Amino acid sequence: MCNCNKGKFYITTPIYYPSGNPHIGHCYTTVACDSIARYKRMQGYDVMFLTGTDEHGLKIETKAAEKGVTPQEYVDEIVAIFKNLWEYMGISYDRYIRTTDDYHVESVQKIFKELYDRGYIYKGEYTGKYCTPCESFWTESQLVDGKCPDCGRDVIEAKEEAYFFKMSPFADRLEKLLTETDYLRPKTRAVELVNNFIKPGLEDLCVSRTSFTWGIPVTFDEKHVIYVWVDALSNYITALGYLNGKYDDYDKFWPADVHMVAKDIMRFHALIWPAMLMALDLPLPKHLAVHGWITFNGQKMSKSLGNVVDPMILGQRYGADAIRYHIMREMALGADSSFSNEIMINRINSDLANGFGNLVSRTVAMVIKYFGGSLITDREEGEFDSDLISMIEGLREKVDGYVEETQLQNALTEIFTLVARANKYIDETEPWVLAKDETKKTRLATVLYNLLEAIRVSATLLSAFMPATMPKALEQIGCTEEMATYENAGKYGVLPADVTVTKGEVLFPRIDVDKEIEALNEFIKNNA
């Protein structure tokens, strides 16, 4: 840990609907935010990492009724599953917000009233397409072939008294935010928002409902409950104590540095959330990082298609870190990523077992075999050294840049370029040949030291991404916690010249591809 305080850093995941168990898609955003939070802590930032669950709404009310439990009982059970998964995946959140928490409810009621008093919320009539069996309103564009997108049945034209949030006063400022600042990442997505929503004229947003009760009541009109987005989006500030006495972190941490979401909810975070903040006269978040979807063999993951990938099952088979690595390594910011068990297993084998794991085990084994575990301190430079050493020295800066831009795939690719370079260095320098010649002992020690240094720097930077395994790798190469710092990750020559290594467990066991594919297919079939 670094003592140099670089200031604060506030990062958030979406708050997930506990209407079903978490899947690999929820896992992606959470793991990505966790890795950034860990990296920033390592850099010396005072980090607030927030995640949570969005627990109100008709869908939860209906699901609870189907199960014969209260909505609160229903969400409590699923929230426990979310929290359990996050613990298993090594998610180091600082705060977990539930929209059913009293302090959040209190703040949201005050925010709603404030927006009303400022004239941005008004009472009107909601007209839409209504699906009676689902008790849901839909907009024309949400319908699928003119029918309810949830159940496929006919919809009717219906009206309901509702409160609305005025969007139009913010159109110009929103357009500027999206096109003239670096709020949105990737910025290329601004075009669709401007063309599809701002240019045609921003529609006011319906922010209350009277057709269900599982929600936060409007204090001055109790038959209304506050409809999802005002409740949900506010979590990013209520979790810091905005308009409640539970926490006192708003002044310190707001505005957020990064909100990370997938493209499905970009619109709400790119238009509605900034508009709400503008209406409240609050500072805007610095960045909105939007990633694509994890699809399954090219299809959108969905319960009804029976292709929901359970991260817990995968984690139990291959280790949480391998899953963390795979999903981050596969997803390019802004694009979708097709999940396939085969690609995952092959990647774990090639990058983690053969690439990183092998580098560590070979190097440690050679230090033990040729030097009894502790290197001699004499050195002799040779061919190939300078290339490897300059990569070791330059890696941190490159990774910093990618983490800063929330391009985690590139950050990992960069680290694994050094890992591959180090493996190639073994082939080039042929330590087993050097070992046969007593006069080459100093050269051999130099080669092995350089390899240990490559591992130290890679593993230190990787510890933000794979927090369970990397400390074990560092221990094996004789790198103490004090040495495994961010400062040292930018330098060559940190391990003591007479470093002592220890053989440890296999970091990433090789997976039998055919056997595992069969087992996973069987699993999917049984759970479809």
Cβ pair 393, 454 in contact under 8 A:
no
Cβ-based nearer residue to ligand MSP, 206 or 418: 206
How is 455-523 classified by DSSP, letter by letter? HHHHHHHHTTTSTTTHHHHHHHTT--TTTS-TTGGG-S--S-TT-B------SSPPP-HHHHHHHHHHH
Cβ-based nearer residue to ligand MSP, 213 or 299: 299
In the range 127-146, which residues lie near ligand MSP by CB under 6 A? none
Residues counted in the chain: 528
- Shortest Cβ 198–ligand MSP spacing (Å): 21
In the range 393-432, which residues lie near ligand MSP by CB under 6 A? none
Cβ-based nearer residue to ligand MSP, 74 or 370: 74
- Shortest Cβ 482–ligand MSP spacing (Å): 36
Cβ-based nearer residue to ligand MSP, 26 or 40: 26
Cβ-based nearer residue to ligand MSP, 28 or 126: 28
Task: Out of 9, 10, 11, 14, name the contact with ligand MSP by CB under 6 A.
Answer: 14
Cβ-based nearer residue to ligand MSP, 28 or 214: 28
Is residue 291 left, alpha or beta, with left meaning phi > 0 and alpha meaning psi from -120 to 50? beta
Single out the residue of 220, 224, 229 nearest to residue 211, CA to CA. Answer: 224
- Note whether 15 binds ligand MSP by CB under 6 A: yes
Cβ-based nearer residue to ligand MSP, 42 or 301: 301
Cβ-based nearer residue to ligand MSP, 230 or 367: 230
Q: Which secondary structure element, helix H or strand E, spans residue 48, and what is its range?
A: strand 46-53
Task: Out of 264, 342, 381, 437, name the contact with ligand MSP by CB under 6 A.
Answer: 264
- Note whether 93 binds ligand MSP by CB under 6 A: no
* Rounded alpha-carbon distances, angstroms, from residue 196 to 139, 141, 192, 199, 334: 15, 12, 6, 7, 18
Cβ-based nearer residue to ligand MSP, 107 or 458: 107
Task: Out of 74, 86, 254, 293, name the contact with ligand MSP by CB under 6 A.
Answer: 293
Q: What are phi and psi of 290, to 5 degrees?
A: -110, 120
Q: What is the 3-state secondary structure (H, E, C) of 78-147?
A: HHHHHHHHHHHCCCCCCEEEECCCHHHHHHHHHHHHHHHHCCCEEEEEEEEEEECCCCEEECHHHCECCE
Q: Which span sits near ligand MSP by CB under 6 A: 12-20, 241-249, 478-486, 488-496?
A: 12-20
Give the residue closest to ligand MSP by C-beta. Answer: 25
Task: Out of 9, 11, 26, 371, name the contact with ligand MSP by CB under 6 A.
Answer: 26
Q: Which span sits near ligand MSP by CB under 6 A: 88-96, 232-240, 242-250, 456-464?
A: 232-240
Q: Enumerate residues 6+ apart whose C-beta is below 8 A from 272.
A: 165, 167, 205, 229, 233
Q: Which span sits near ligand MSP by CB under 6 A: 20-28, 81-89, 374-382, 434-442?
A: 20-28
Direct distance between the N- and C-terminal alpha carbons of the chain, in angstroms, rounded to an integer? 45
- Shortest Cβ 259–ligand MSP spacing (Å): 8
In the range 41-70, which residues lie near ligand MSP by CB under 6 A? 54
Beta strands (DSSP E) in 231-283 are 258-262
Q: DSSP H helical segments within 244-308, as ranges?
A: 250-253, 266-267, 273-279
The single residue listed with the structure tokens 């399954």 is 296
- Note whether 272 binds ligand MSP by CB under 6 A: no
Cβ-based nearer residue to ligand MSP, 138 or 425: 138
- Taking only Cα atoms into account, the Rg of the chain, rounded to an integer number of angstroms, comes to 26
- Note whether 233 binds ligand MSP by CB under 6 A: yes
- Shortest Cβ 228–ligand MSP spacing (Å): 7
- Note whether 294 binds ligand MSP by CB under 6 A: yes
In the range 296-335, which residues lie near ligand MSP by CB under 6 A? 301
- Note whether 216 binds ligand MSP by CB under 6 A: no
- Note whether 231 binds ligand MSP by CB under 6 A: no
* Rounded alpha-carbon distances, angstroms, from residue 481 to 4, 74, 376, 473: 17, 43, 23, 12
- Note whether 78 binds ligand MSP by CB under 6 A: no
Cβ-based nearer residue to ligand MSP, 16 or 449: 16
Q: Which span sits near ligand MSP by CB under 6 A: 110-118, 257-265, 403-411, 457-465?
A: 257-265
Q: What are phi and psi of 297, to 5 degrees?
A: 45, 40
3-class SS shares of the chain: helix, strand, coil, % to 5: 50, 15, 35
Q: Enumerate residues 6+ apart whose C-beta is below 8 A from 502.
A: 364, 373, 475, 476, 478
- Note whether 17 binds ligand MSP by CB under 6 A: yes
∠ Cα 274 280 284 (to 5°) = 35
Cβ pair 71, 19 in contact under 8 A:
no
- Shortest Cβ 308–ligand MSP spacing (Å): 9
d(Cα 274, Cα 206) in Å, to the nearest integer? 16
The single residue listed with the structure tokens 């001055």 is 220
Task: Out of 9, 10, 11, 16, name the contact with ligand MSP by CB under 6 A.
Answer: 16
- Shortest Cβ 153–ligand MSP spacing (Å): 23
- Shortest Cβ 84–ligand MSP spacing (Å): 17
Task: Out of 9, 10, 11, 29, name the contact with ligand MSP by CB under 6 A.
Answer: 29
Task: Out of 97, 177, 262, 344, name the contact with ligand MSP by CB under 6 A.
Answer: 262
Residues that bind ligand MSP (CB under 6 A): 14-17, 25-26, 28-29, 54, 232-233, 235, 261-262, 264-265, 293-294, 301
